[in-house]
């Protein structure tokens, strides 16, 4: 099975720049996922992120087990199975995931005490990395410098949306009956993921339809693109389907940061092609996405084409 590419980001600054750019281009075009090492983010900071996120989940663990709908649904299924009921079917419409979102305009957890300071520092570093990656993407696509940020902000009138999703996937007694997170593509722009370096579960779908593990790698940052980059690149950098498998062992951590357009930003293809994607307001796309996240993205693009032709 093919492996997700691992790219040394520091080599962009040296004699191997051309080879590194080619590797990043291949990651965007052929898989839609790759991992960056030597990003310039201090290992000491990443170690602190691991600790505060782990400590935060310990405060949420009991509530997850008591109130998560997937936990309750699975318990009911297992009870029926033990009573000799009908063959078990996989739970649909639910995920084995504890999750909360960080954004500058939202309340932050006050415990553990070091959480906010650490995560604010981390988010600042990840934002810098995201903007560097947008610059790399612009160069690879032949776009003028700053084009993607201008598209995401209506030429500087708005602020891009930058949020961080902190997730944990606790041990699951029956991973055959529930997903950690159902298969989907991401709605927005560029996604930078700091995933668990001990426990796997994240998989990306290759163009041939097969699934490949995004292997745990110490202090690496996983990169993938969302639907808006697919539109901007006119299909050259397609958003990749991915999923998270529930597992019996370990409590998998996932910290995903999303650099997205502003809700009022107009997104349109920046590269001419025969099969153009529609142009639309990102907020309108999100209204469709929240209802169709786990469905084919082609229907979402089609809905936007219908909206723009009215």
Q: How many residues belong to the chain?
A: 310
For the chain, give the mean pLDDT: 91
Residue 86, pLDDT score: 60
90 by Cβ neighbours in 10 Å (0-12 / 13-18 / 19+) ranks as exposed
Non-local CB neighbours of 278 within 8 Å, separated by 6+ positions: 231, 268, 301, 304, 305, 307, 308
pLDDT digits over 237-256, tens only? 999 999 999 999 888 999 99
Query: Which residue has better confidence, 275 or 277?
Result: 277
Whether 245 contacts 179, CB under 8 Å: yes
Site of tokens 């936007």:
304
User: Is the pLDDT assigned to residue 56 strictly greater than 80?
Assistant: yes
The alpha carbon of 26 is separated from its chain's Cα centroid by a whole number of angstroms, namely 19
If pLDDT is split at 50, 70 and 90, which confidence band does 306 have?
confident
If pLDDT is split at 50, 70 and 90, which confidence band does 83 have?
low
Whether 47 contacts 247, CB under 8 Å: no
Site of tokens 């050259």:
236
User: Is the pLDDT assigned to residue 87 strictly greater than 70?
Assistant: no
Which phi and psi angles does 252 have, rounded to 5°? Answer: -75, 130
pLDDT digits over 146-188, tens only? 999 999 999 999 999 999 999 999 999 999 999 999 999 999 9
User: Is the pLDDT assigned to residue 1 strictly greater than 50?
Assistant: no
pLDDT digits over 208-229, tens only? 999 999 999 999 999 999 999 9
Mean pLDDT of 282-296: 95
What pTM was estimated for this model as a whole?
Answer: 0.92
Query: Which homologous superfamily is 6-81+89-306 in?
Result: B-lactam Antibiotic, Isopenicillin N Synthase; Chain (2.60.120.330)
User: Is the pLDDT assigned to residue 72 strictly greater than 90?
Assistant: no
User: Is the pLDDT assigned to residue 265 strictly greater than 90?
Assistant: yes
For residues 195 and 180, give the distance between their C-alpha atoms in angstroms, rounded to a whole number: 14
Residue 288, pLDDT score: 95
Residue 71, pLDDT score: 78
Residue 92, pLDDT score: 87
Residue 62, pLDDT score: 80
Residue 61, pLDDT score: 81
98 by Cβ neighbours in 10 Å (0-12 / 13-18 / 19+) ranks as buried
pLDDT digits over 109-136, tens only? 989 999 999 999 999 999 999 999 999 9
């Amino acid at each position: 099975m093919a492996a997700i590419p691992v790219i040394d980001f520091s080599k962009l600054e040296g004699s191997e720049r051309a080879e590194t750019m080619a590797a990043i281009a291949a990651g965007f075009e052929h898989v839609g996922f790759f991992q960056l090492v030597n990003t310039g983010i201090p290992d000491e900071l990443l170690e602190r992120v691991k600790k505060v996120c782990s400590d935060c989940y310990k405060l949420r663990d009991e509530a997850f087990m008591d109130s998560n709908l997937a936990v309750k649904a699975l318990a009911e299924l297992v009870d029926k199975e033990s009573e000799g009921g009908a063959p078990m079917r996989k739970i649909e419409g639910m995920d084995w995931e504890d999750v909360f979102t960080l954004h500058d305009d939202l309340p932050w957890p006050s415990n553990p005490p070091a959480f906010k300071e650490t995560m604010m520092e981390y988010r600042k570093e990840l934002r810098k990395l995201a903007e560097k990656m947008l610059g790399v993407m612009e160069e690879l696509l032949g776009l003028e410098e700053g084009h993607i940020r201008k598209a995401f902000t209506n030429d500087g009138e708005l602020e891009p949306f930058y949020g961080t999703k902190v997730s944990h996937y606790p041990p699951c007694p029956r991973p055959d009956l529930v997903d950690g997170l159902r298969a989907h593509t991401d709605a927005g722009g560029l996604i930078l993921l700091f995933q668990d370096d001990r426990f796997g579960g994240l998989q990306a779908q290759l163009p041939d339809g097969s699934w490949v593990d995004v292997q745990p790698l110490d202090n690496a940052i996983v990169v993938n693109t969302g639907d808006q980059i697919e539109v901007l690149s006119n299909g050259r950098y397609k958003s990749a389907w991915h999923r998270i498998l529930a597992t019996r062992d370990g409590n998998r951590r996932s910290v995903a940061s999303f650099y997205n357009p502003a809700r009022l930003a107009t997104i349109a293809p920046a590269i001419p092609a025969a099969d153009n994607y529609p142009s639309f307001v990102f907020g309108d796309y999100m209204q469709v996405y929240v209802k169709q996240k786990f469905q084919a993205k082609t229907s979402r693009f089609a809905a936007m084409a219908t909206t723009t032709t009215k």
